[in-house]
Structure formats: structure tokens, C-alpha cells
Amino acid sequence: MANRSAIINVMVRAAERAGRSVIRDFGEVEQLQVSRKGPADFVSTADLKAENTVRRELEKARPKFSFLMEESGETKGEDESHVWIVDPLDGTTNFLHGLPHFCVSIALARDGEIIAGVIFDPIKDEVFWAEKGEGAYINDRRLRVSGRFKLEETLLATGIPFRLHEGRKTQETFLAQLDSVMGKIAGVRRLGSAALDLAYVAAGRYDAYWENGLNPWDVAAGILMVREAGGFVSEIKGKRYELGAPDILAANDALHDKLIKLLGPATPR
């Protein structure tokens, strides 16, 4: 059995309690058609409830730490060197449509470097967790990225631009990226949760993942998991990924450079 540190135990407890709240709200999704609340209001309420649960649990354990949260933004604590980075419901569109694929994501950064991460899928009861220098795990099992090295056997994950404000240029970039890999790989999946996409790369379920225009809370926990599982995370053109970068590519060592050569030319700067 893997030994979780005190900080990972704190994060897992917070994620699991928030996940239970999300599950209760998920059971009401099918009633949205007859609810007086609009769907957006309902989802905002679910997000906020989960975020408040996470915050309460983390503040109990580390009251001086700072926060960067999807819903409530940045809160500076007495200790500004340690920052909790939280997405209380990653996969909101799935949640709204009754699709059982979403998660709670929590990361801890120290002086800008991610040192711990937890991603909890409450539907499948899977806890992905990683700590810098200690490896990545799903529940109590060690994770390793896939060992595939042939592009034609590779299964990729991605995210498709969907908001109008992302603009035509973003959509054109995505289509160029997709065209650069289609026909050379086994397939592409779009399941709608960046955090789980990265966790699945760490677990070897996907061989690689790329996406454009993500926020720090979407990826903070997942990038540590991939790296601790033996994978590489960079920008699409190969520069080391740092929070706030314009795009992301995660893969095993055998595929990483190959995908940079395919996706890089299709990614303008």
C-alpha cells in the first residue's frame, strides 16, 4: 500500500468531501427541465458548494496558505509562497448534460512549483494523486505512462474549442493541429475534462494529450501526475510547460518529440 503524506491526506479528504457534494447535485441534473433555476445557475451553485467544501477543509489544515480557485479567484493568505490551486468541478458541461465524467482537482504550489496534486473522480471512485519526487498513484497503485512508441498505435486526447469568444483563429489552430495527426495515429478522444485527460496520460490510458488555452486550475494537478509517472509535459512547440502557458502537450518520452514535430508547425505564435 502506498504511503500518503499528511499533505496528500488533507487534499484527498477535501476532494472526496467535495466530490460527495457534486454527486448529490449530479443526481438532480435530470430535474433541470422542470426547475425554476436555469441550468447555468444550477451549475454555478454546484461549483460554489464544492469549492466552499474544498476551501473549508484545506483552511482547517493549513490556515495560512493562499488560494487560486476557479470560482472565487485569488486569495492571498499570510503564506503567499504556498498556494492551493483548485477546480471544484472540472467537466462542467458533462455534468450539466448528465454525462458521468468530471472531477475535483486540487494542487499545491510552493514558490510557483507544483509539489502535490489530487484529482478525484467521484463517479468511478478513483483518486489520482502525486507528490513531487514520490511518484504518481491511482488509489494505492503506482502509475506509469504508456510504453507505446509507434504513432499508428497511439491514442490521443484533446479539447475542442467551443466558446464563441475563443474566436476563429483558435478554431483554425485546432483544426490544423487535428489535421496534422489524423491519419498517423490510432485515434483521438475528447471526453471533456482536462484534469482527467492528464490523469489518464499518467495512468497510460491515453498515450498523449494536447489542448490550447487552459487555465492553471485545469492542469496544475495533472501536470505533476504526468511528470511523476515518467512522462513529459511541455508547450506544443517544446518549451517546458509553466502555469499560464498558451497550450499544453503531455506524452511519454518516446512520443513527445514526435508529436512536437507534428503539432508544432500547426501551432502559430
What is the structure's pLDDT at 161?
A: 85
Please identify, in words, the CATH class of the domain defined by 6-142: alpha beta
For the record, the C-alpha cell of 45 comes out as: 451553485
78 has pLDDT over 60: yes
For the record, the C-alpha cell of 196 comes out as: 482527467
Residues of the chain above pLDDT 90, percent? 80
Q: How many CB atoms lie within 10 A of CB 139?
A: 12
The 10s digit of each residue's pLDDT in 203-237 is 999 999 999 999 999 999 999 999 999 999 999 99
Average confidence (pLDDT) over 84-100: 92
Residue bearing the bigger pLDDT, 269 or 41: 269
Domain with CATH 3.30.540.10 in the chain: 6-142
Q: The whole model's pTM is what?
A: 0.93
What is the structure's pLDDT at 35?
A: 47
Reference 25, options 89, 85, 113; nearest CA is 89
What is the structure's pLDDT at 240?
A: 94
pLDDT confidence bin for 34, thresholds 50/70/90: very low
Instruction: Give the CATH architecture of domain 151-266.
Output: 3-Layer(aba) Sandwich (3.40)
Integer Cα distance of 167 and 159 in angstroms: 15
139 alpha-carbon distance from chain centroid:
17
Class of residue 109 by CB neighbours under 10 A (exposed 0-12, middle 13-18, buried 19+): buried
42 has pLDDT over 90: no
What is the structure's pLDDT at 126?
A: 98
Integer Cα distance of 115 and 137 in angstroms: 14
Contacts of 175 (CB under 8 A, 6+ apart): none
Helices 167-181, 253-263: axis angle to 10 degrees equals 120
The 10s digit of each residue's pLDDT in 139-175 is 999 999 999 999 999 999 999 987 644 566 788 999 9
Contact 154, 164 (CB under 8 A): no
Integer Cα distance of 162 and 183 in angstroms: 24
pLDDT confidence bin for 38, thresholds 50/70/90: low
The 10s digit of each residue's pLDDT in 4-26 is 999 999 999 999 999 999 998 88
What is the structure's pLDDT at 1?
A: 60
The 10s digit of each residue's pLDDT in 228-253 is 999 999 999 999 999 999 999 999 99
E strands present in the chain: 65-69, 73-75, 79-90, 103-110, 113-121, 126-131, 135-138, 141-142, 155-158, 187-189, 208-212, 232-234, 247-251
What is the structure's pLDDT at 3?
A: 87
Average confidence (pLDDT) over 35-56: 75
Domain with CATH 3.40.190.80 in the chain: 151-266
Reference 89, options 42, 132, 141, 143; nearest CA is 42
What is the structure's pLDDT at 163?
A: 62
80 has pLDDT over 70: yes
Contacts of 61 (CB under 8 A, 6+ apart): 10
182 has pLDDT over 90: yes
Average confidence (pLDDT) over 59-82: 95
Average pLDDT, whole number, for the chain? 92
Residue type, 188: V
The 10s digit of each residue's pLDDT in 107-122 is 999 999 999 999 999 9
Strands 103-110 and 79-90: antiparallel
What is the structure's pLDDT at 41?
A: 54
Integer Cα distance of 145 and 204 in angstroms: 4
Contacts of 32 (CB under 8 A, 6+ apart): 39, 42, 96
Residues, the chain: 269
